[in-house]
Structure 1
Amino acid sequence: MARARASSSSTTTLAIFLLCMTLVGQSYGQLKKGFYDGRCSANVESVIFDIVLKAYQNDNTIVAALLRMQFHDCFVGGCDASILLDGSNAEKNAPSNGSVRGYELIDACKAKLEQVCPGLVSCADIIVIATRVAVALAKGNWYDVETGRRDGFFSTITEAEKNLPPPTISVSDAITLFNRKGLSSYDFVLLLGGGHTVGDIHCSKFLDRLYNYKNTGRPDPSMNSATLSSCQQRCPRSGSNNFVFADQTVGSEFKVDNGYYQAIAQGKGILEIDQRIASDSLTKDSVNKLAWTDNLFAYQFGYAMVKLGKVGVLTGSQGQVRLNCRRNN
């Protein structure tokens, strides 16, 4: 798979913006922008930026990995870094989390921060900050993160499987699930698109759409014919270890942009839920607006990520600040 490097000019701009931006301002509950200001001798967000940048320059698929990690963490018991805990029954071992990666990157951020700010920065905040940096490096808009989360104690496979939506979920059921987390149907469309605008999907996750949709012995008729043919070449009926790009707009595969919406509006969705949001009456208008309105997704995705980052947070004296993200203190 191709690897991309951030240009030196865009990287410098982001770094300067990170160091110079004003972090004080509006706060929500006990989460706020600039929570660590004045509490650490180093700039916490700058430390994380440098580590994520290095990882991105080596492998730009880390963007998709971090987006998936934040979503999968926040949807299981809230944004409390429970997905990072090790253990035979921990949620990272759930089948639904088999594609989540990036744990070593979070470990690296935590190790560096423990050197400069011992016992201060939560693993939950590291996930959220690192994901924002990755989005910006992948040409997405920079959005302000709120920090002050604390880490949870519990992590189980059962909770992961109960809370994470399968790729075959209906649009109405997905919206209901998001509503339970305090997120709207529009947030659902934004977050699904943001997660699928970069990265790839294993053939096994959508093989039925290519050959035996709903046990008909035929492909899913809603799939674009050219996309169907291309996917069948990559994913033979007998099975394959291959992947295809989640975003089928050429040139958009590694960018956090609205190419995903343009693709699904043309029947090029890979997972069933991707294609369904483009045709379902509950979501199709949102998809069309995001596909064809300049900069709409760029501006609104960040707001959805901030809302996601508030789901089920622990703050104040709740939870803990783990010294090692993989185990409780």
Structure 2
Amino acid sequence: MSSDQQTFADHRNLLFAVAYRLLGSAADAEDVVQDAWFKWSADDRSQVADPKAYLARIVTNLSMERLRSTRRQRETYVGPWLPEPILTQADAAEDIATAESISMAMLVVLETLSPLERAVFVLKEVFAFSYGEIAEAVERSEPAVRQAGHRAREHVQARRPRFEADRVKKREATERFFAATMGGDINQLMELLAPEVTLWTDGGGKVRQAMRPIIGAANVARWLAGNAQRPYEGVEISDMAAELVDINGGPGIVMTGAGRVIATITVDLGADGRIAAVHNVANPDKLRAVAEGAKRV
């Protein structure tokens, strides 16, 4: 391996981590990292004093370009749009800041920022780049970057859901929720769900899912219990398998059946310990990273 290849390999995980947080898609992040490699290998690197900053700049700009393009596609997306789930290492979940930054809930909030605001927020708050480094990366003035960062922080803080850092508590809640769902136990579900719980189901119009968010404990419990009573995409519930794994920095469930990944389920807890949000990703196009089994970030 040449020194240029080694330099890129040394920073590849960081580049994917940046791109994934900017795009909410593992597939798009991989494409961006691949494009960054082509650009890096073609550029004159003799004047590059800081490869990490240089590569971060390439990935950030490629991600912002792609984000502008995918935003138009997402406007016509069928049903709720959720990020593409990824499997994560257990040690990623032990770093609270890292775990929160890749949580489904946070990525959904980041989706509401402009591409510039999202880039500045991710680089500053997650990866601790200085405003000067970010200004160079996004090719804006430092005052403009500071302003974008301020707007992004205020926006995220106003919408940031409570993040449960206690892994044991969240794992137990996830297990109890899943058992109640698979058993079609509406009473047990009602005990676990917060009154204003929201269920987001992303099927992308390709599989049977709710076409809009379902709000309220009774509505969510009925929908979940009803689904547990009938086959899903030709697979009987009794023929499905479930595994508790780390998804996006916390405990989650991967459902499999008929030789394929069917869905992922993650939950967020409210201040009272009850489930405040459920994210169910079933769009087959968004399950490839989980199906491949590689643990990321």
> Do the two structures share a fold, i.e. TM-score over 0.5?
no
By percentage of residues, which structure has more helix? Answer: 2
Q: TM-score, normalised by structure 2?
A: 0.27
By percentage of residues, which structure has more strand? Answer: 2
Q: TM-score, normalised by structure 1?
A: 0.25
